[in-house]
Amino acid sequence: MPSRSNDFVIKIANVNGTGSASANGLLMKAIFRMGIPVVGKNFFPSNIQGLPTWFEIRVSREGYVARSGRVDIMVAMNAQTYARDLADVSAGGYLIYDSTWSRDKQLARDDVTLIGIPLAQLVNAQFENVRARILMKNVCYVGALAALLDIDMDVIKQLLKETFADKEKLIAGNLKAIELGYNYVKEYCDCPLPLRLEPMHATDGYIMVDGNTMAGLGCVFAGATVGAWYPITPSTSLMDAFKEFCERYRVDRGTGKHRYCIVQAEDELAAIGIVLGAAWNGARAFTPTSGPGISLMNEFIGFAYYTEIPAVLFDVQRVGPSTGMPTRTQQGDLLLCAYASHGDTRHVLLFPADPAECFHFAVTAFDLAERLQTPVFVMSDLDIGMNDWMIPKVHWDPKYAPDRGKVYSKEQLENMQIFHRYTDNDGDGICYRTFPGVHARGAYFTRGSGHNRHGGYTEDAADYQDVLDRLRRKHDTAKQLVPTPVIRSKKGVKTAIVSLGSCDGAVREALDVLAREGTEVNYLRVRGFPFSQQVEEFLAHHEQVFVVEQNRDAQLKSLLLLETTVDRNKLISILHYGGMPIDSRGIVSGISDALAKGAAA
Amino acid sequence: MSFMQKPKVSHSQLPRNELGLTVRDYEGSMSTLCAGCGHDSITAAVIQAFWELSIEPYKVAKMSGIGCSSKTPTYFLSQAHGINAVHGRMPSIATGANAADRNLYYVGISGDGDSLSIGLGQFIHVLRRNLNMLYIIENNGVYGLTKGQFSASADVGSKAKKGEVNQQPPIDPVIAALTLGGSFVARSFSGDKAQLVPLIKAGIMHNGFAMLDVLSPCVTFNDHEDSTKSYAHTRQFYHPAVHADFVLSKKPIRTAYDDGEAMPVELHDGSTVVLRKVSKDYNPTNRAQAYSYLHEHQKRGEIVTGLLYIDEDQREMHDISNTVSEALRDLAYAELCPGNAALEETQNLYR
């Protein structure tokens, strides 16, 4: 077999709770440090210990970030899933197993090379402690892979040093386990394999990070001071990150006092209430959650919309409906969030595609929420939020100043005759607000019940409609303020893809594959709702538009049909909703089949 | 209700407080509640308390949930910001508002439906957080706005206007607050302004969550014979255990009281609340004793009132969170943004 460097997939099948995550992270980081583009996807159960878990590492010279659909090397550490894992290996691939115990001879494939390494035996001979034996077996396969794939051992040693900088004792143990695997393979196997790694310089200036970490960091940079939340997978690590960065950067050196306040609420209803109370009182406040949390928050979301209180919600989407599959990914909350709550409501949504956009859109979300005085949803998902992505380092504009929107200061209030909360002085549907405790003239009563433009209670049809119609105008103003779509197009091409969020990597790879097959397709990635004018124009300029999204009910397509003038016959859905991140194959075949059918007709 | 507009007339002879303001400066808009509603008396007591304390009205944030009680924040302090949350969720709004600015005065008005049914979870958790606020429950045992259903505070055997008899045991906010670690637990009656005003003042100045349950008869749906939340029933079984006198002076005026009977408790800001116990065996700083006293008297059908428990040393939310003393919402952006060098430093950890 000819050697195939820097373009293959390693999948590690394991049991959760065995410490495999850190071993797998070490392996991926080592490849990244060798300058080779890499991406990792963690498929874990909603469980703490004992259930199957997989980690998939795609090494891609070209820098593709989606799953490829192949498995070139399977590390089968879980007897429970062995048969299935063997079946998953692509023809011509390899399967590494622990040869300490005898293997069921029935389980073999002619087109897969089996590599047995007595991992448990090697480790048990060197480690006494039972827990250490479990952990080190995983580190040991990293050593074996290092020999098989030609990973630079110096890189691994350096990584271990950094990881356990304050736990020196662990370095030696981990290194010993690495060497056990490495030396065994060097002695008994042909290595490196034809699938191997060759150093590159394609990761300079990049980091490996997950979206929740970058969103939490974005909240710190946006100047958020109040965070309220109720723990829910897969959003929990966002607040963990915010807390960690606040502890690093927001603690007064002199007094040790915190320039932030995080409240772990009793439920999501309280979490959003806390955000609204804080924002009403002038702080930048946010809550990270997932679909079930949004369902619970619905009443308060409508309240915030109608009373015009800014709020930032991160919906790190997971598989629904109901409890669904909490550790699997989906884009199933688009319609839920676009029109959350009873009555006529409509909300501003942002769609980040990767951790870098999670950082930037966190900041944008606070600016828009305060500019528009309304809830803003950052629609991340489990794939973006919890998996490590390779992204270029983000940069910060030192000239940035938060857009606090229209807020009357003490001096302005001092110099005016009378203040009314809901009068549209500027004609953009956005009114002026005041903060409590600033000036007696700024006082008004915030109510979710019917109110007129002066903020007074009303049951009068005309007064009620006056406010409701202005809210609609305000939402239209948002079209010009949300992030513009990213467009990749060639003149004269009449077929296009419209997609959003974490589909981006798979779509871009599909576009390359299609182009190689001679099919040119244009692409627009939506980044905000309500849709800006460019979305409308892009739809108008194409004859056939494939809408790629990760849910069953074509929710993005539904929004396009509801909120633009597009002819519904133009839109063809390509849907992926099983809970695994989308890959390019379904997109390529969906488009190729449709085009072939069209040509035949 | 009255349809007359209330003119804002300042009578020169009205007494003025330290800020030079009269009681009229602490009023709000005209009440739209039924004539004789207990809630209106509580509103009057709130107005009196803030006026007596000489607190700038605009330094107060007033909030409520949904229900008759929750309408009342519009009837006092028209110069203060107010917010009417969704049903039962005022405690979370109060938590967020207080998180953003710990230096305002927070007063929340709730009802027995709002706090003990739909909002029981939020009520318990805001108490657990020991949020620095005054939390008044205007308790009438009945749903007024939906016309007369029992609430969770209705007593067993109490009869509704249409004759139905309540069978389920009541939730008593005082017992709940005592057992869940409340730092200020009080009960009063809308018909006893002399007791109510000092309790409201002490609650405003208490550094933590001041829970004040006020029996407030509903004249329309729950003031008939066989109701245990009527004016007549409340007056008959009223049992004040502790009288509280609120003293703004830094020096407790102990000489005015008999030593064995009076108990001065210094509040966080240096002011004092002097507790005059009706019963010698009552100790309002001992949670277990307060509980057994209440239990004993309630078995006899008595309604025990007063400042029943106080612990001024319990840490409030910001003390626990170790928040800076300034309002978070007023911090300059430069104090919040770590800047480019920090961003670079943090990102290098992900190489």
Q: What is the pLDDT of residue A140?
A: 97
Q: What letter represents residue B173's amino acid?
A: P
How many alpha carbons fall within 13 Å on the CB side of residue A249?
A: 28
Over residues B148-171, the mean pLDDT reads 90
User: Does ipTM top 0.85?
Assistant: yes
| Residue B338, domain member (yes or no) | no
Between residues A164 and A508, the one the model is more confident about: A508
Is residue B239 within 8 A of residue B297, CB to CB? The reply is yes
Between residues A579 and A166, the one the model is more confident about: A579
Return the number of other C-beta atoms located less than 10 Å from residue B198's C-beta.
22
Alpha-carbon distances, residue B228 vs A3, A222, B102, B219 (angstroms): 88, 54, 39, 13
Q: What are A272's two structure tokens? A: 């959003």
Q: What are B268's two structure tokens? A: 């966080």
Q: What is the pLDDT of residue A355?
A: 98
How many alpha carbons fall within 13 Å on the CB side of residue A507?
A: 27
Give the model confidence (pLDDT) of A166-214 as tens digits: 888 899 999 999 999 999 999 999 999 999 999 999 999 999 999 999 9
Over residues B106-125, the mean pLDDT reads 97
* A464: contact with B, CB 8 A cutoff: no
3-state helix, strand, coil in chain A (%, to 5): 40, 20, 40
Return the number of other C-beta atoms located less than 10 Å from residue A156's C-beta.
24
Average pLDDT, chain B: 90
| Residue B175, domain member (yes or no) | yes
> For residue B94, what is the nearest residue in chain A, using CA coordinates?
A277
Q: What is the pLDDT of residue B44?
A: 97
Greatest CA span in chain B, whole angstroms?
76
Query: Residue A117: CB partners within 8 Å, gap ≥ 6?
Result: A96, A97, A98, A99, A140, A141, A144, A181, A184, A185, A189
State the smallest CA–CA distance between residue B81 and chain A in angstroms. Answer: 5
Over residues A30-35, the mean pLDDT reads 98
Whether the per-residue pLDDT at B249 is higher than 80: the answer is: no
- Pick from A207, A300, A448: CB nearest B351: A207
DSSP B309-340: EE-TTS--HHHHHTB-SS-GGGS-GGGT--HH
Whether the per-residue pLDDT at A106 is higher than 80: the answer is: no
- Pick from A221, A436, A448: CB nearest B86: A448
Q: State the Rg of chain A over Cα.
A: 27
State the smallest CA–CA distance between residue B235 and chain A in angstroms. Answer: 35
How many alpha carbons fall within 13 Å on the CB side of residue A593?
A: 9
Q: What is the pLDDT of residue A47?
A: 87
Site of tokens 């990792």? A40
Q: Is A104 exposed, middle or buried (0-12, 13-18, 19+ CB in 10 A)?
A: exposed
Return the number of other C-beta atoms located less than 10 Å from residue B219's C-beta.
17
Q: Is A165 exposed, middle or buried (0-12, 13-18, 19+ CB in 10 A)?
A: exposed
A vs B: CB pairs below 8 A: 224
How many alpha carbons fall within 13 Å on the CB side of residue A469?
A: 9
What percent of chain B shows pLDDT beyond 90?
71
What percent of chain A shows pLDDT beyond 70?
99
Alpha-carbon distances, residue A278 vs A290, B7, B250 (angstroms): 21, 34, 33
Whether the per-residue pLDDT at A468 is higher than 50: the answer is: yes
Alpha-carbon distances, residue A435 vs A277, A363, A407, B72 (angstroms): 11, 22, 8, 21
Q: How far apart are CA A242 and CA A244, in angstroms?
A: 6
Q: What is the pLDDT of residue A176?
A: 96
CATH number for the domain harbouring residue B84: 3.40.50.970
| Residue B9, domain member (yes or no) | no
Q: Under CATH, to which class is A209-392 assigned?
A: alpha beta
> For residue A31, what is the nearest residue in chain B, using CA coordinates?
B351
Whether the per-residue pLDDT at B263 is higher than 80: the answer is: no
Q: Name the DSSP class of A583.
A: B
What percent of chain A shows pLDDT beyond 90?
94
> A4-204: CATH homologous superfamily?
Pyruvate-ferredoxin oxidoreductase, PFOR, domain III (3.40.920.10)
Whether the per-residue pLDDT at B251 is higher than 70: the answer is: no
Q: What is the pLDDT of residue B256?
A: 46
Q: What is the pLDDT of residue A455?
A: 95
DSSP A385-414: HHS-EEEEPP---TT------SB--HHHHH
* A398: contact with B, CB 8 A cutoff: yes
Q: What is the pLDDT of residue B253?
A: 43
- Pick from B58, B84, B99: CB nearest A437: B58
Is residue B249 within 8 A of residue B271, CB to CB? The reply is yes
Is residue A301 within 8 A of residue A279, CB to CB? The reply is no
Q: Name the DSSP class of A282.
A: T
Q: Determine, for residues B92 and A258 on separate chains, whether the beta-carbon distance falls below 8 Å.
A: no
Q: How far apart are CA A14 and CA A137, in angstroms?
A: 11
Strand partners, B247: B272
Q: How far apart are CA B229 and CA A267, in angstroms?
A: 32
The domains of chain A are located at 4-204, 209-392, 410-478, 486-600
| Residue B60, domain member (yes or no) | yes
Return the number of other C-beta atoms located less than 10 Å from residue A550's C-beta.
29
How many alpha carbons fall within 13 Å on the CB side of residue A296?
A: 21
CATH architecture of A486-600: 3-Layer(aba) Sandwich (3.40)
Strand partners, A12: A55, A75
Strand partners, A55: A12, A42
Q: What are B197's two structure tokens? A: 């005003």
Q: Hey, do A4-204 and A209-392 end up sharing a CATH topology, with the first three levels equal?
A: no
Q: Determine, for residues B101 and A281 on separate chains, whether the beta-carbon distance falls below 8 Å.
A: yes
Is residue B348 within 8 A of residue A399, CB to CB? The reply is no
Q: How far apart are CA B98 and CA A206, in angstroms?
A: 41
Give the model confidence (pLDDT) of A67-78 as tens digits: 999 999 999 999
Over residues B143-164, the mean pLDDT reads 88
Is residue A557 within 8 A of residue A500, CB to CB? The reply is no
Residues of B in contact with A435 (CB under 8 A): 81, 329
Task: Tell me which residues of chain B, numbers 55 to 114, contact chain A at a CB-CB cutoff of 8 Å.
Answer: 56-59, 61, 73-74, 78-86, 89, 91-101, 103-104
Is residue A194 within 8 A of residue A113, CB to CB? The reply is no
| Residue B339, domain member (yes or no) | no
DSSP-H helix ranges across A117-222: 119-126, 130-149, 153-163, 168-188, 211-222
Report the alpha-carbon angle A39-A43-A49, nearest 5: 130
Whether the per-residue pLDDT at B259 is higher than 50: the answer is: no
> For residue A159, what is the nearest residue in chain B, using CA coordinates?
B351
Q: What is the pLDDT of residue B6?
A: 60
Q: How far apart are CA B242 and CA A453, in angstroms?
A: 47
Domain that holds residue B27: 23-330
pLDDT band at A104 (very low <50, low <70, confident <90, very high): confident
Between residues B304 and B255, the one the model is more confident about: B304
Whether the per-residue pLDDT at B252 is higher than 50: the answer is: no
φ/ψ of A485, rounded to 5, equals -70, 155
Whether the per-residue pLDDT at A137 is higher than 90: the answer is: yes
Return the number of other C-beta atoms located less than 10 Å from residue A63's C-beta.
16
Over residues A221-237, the mean pLDDT reads 98
Is residue B86 within 8 A of residue A300, CB to CB? The reply is yes
pLDDT band at B2 (very low <50, low <70, confident <90, very high): very low
Alpha-carbon distances, residue B248 vs A38, A122, B26 (angstroms): 68, 77, 19
- Pick from A226, A438, A440: CB nearest B328: A226
Helix (H, G, I), strand (E, B) or coil at A135: helix
Q: How far apart are CA A584 and CA A114, in angstroms?
A: 28
State the smallest CA–CA distance between residue B349 and chain A in angstroms. Answer: 8
Over residues A430-456, the mean pLDDT reads 97
DSSP-H helix ranges across A224-309: 236-249, 268-280, 291-307
Q: Determine, for residues A280 and B89 on separate chains, whether the beta-carbon distance falls below 8 Å.
A: no
State the smallest CA–CA distance between residue B229 and chain A in angstroms. Answer: 29
* B322: contact with A, CB 8 A cutoff: yes
Report the alpha-carbon angle A508-A512-A513, nearest 5: 115
Q: What are A107's two structure tokens? A: 């389980």
Over residues B126-137, the mean pLDDT reads 98
Please state whether the peptide bond connecting residue A352 to the residue before it is cis, i.e. omega within 30 degrees of 0. no
Q: How far is residue A164 CA from its own chain's centroid? A: 28
pTM of the model: 0.96
φ/ψ of A378, rounded to 5, equals -100, 110
DSSP B70-87: HHGGGGB-TTSEEEE-ST
Overall domain count for chain B:
1
Task: Tell me which residues of chain A, numbers 212 to 241, contact chain B at a CB-CB cutoff of 8 Å.
Answer: 213, 217, 220-221, 223, 225-226, 228
* B319: contact with A, CB 8 A cutoff: no
Query: Residue A175: CB partners within 8 Å, gap ≥ 6?
Result: A157, A160
Work out whether strand A495-500 and strand A522-526 pair parallel, antiparallel, or are unpaired.
Answer: parallel
Q: How far apart are CA A345 and CA A468, in angstroms?
A: 10
Helix axes A461-478, A355-372, angle to 10 degrees: 150
pLDDT band at B257 (very low <50, low <70, confident <90, very high): very low
| Residue B161, domain member (yes or no) | yes
* A279: contact with B, CB 8 A cutoff: yes
Work out whether strand A226-229 and strand A261-264 pair parallel, antiparallel, or are unpaired.
Answer: parallel
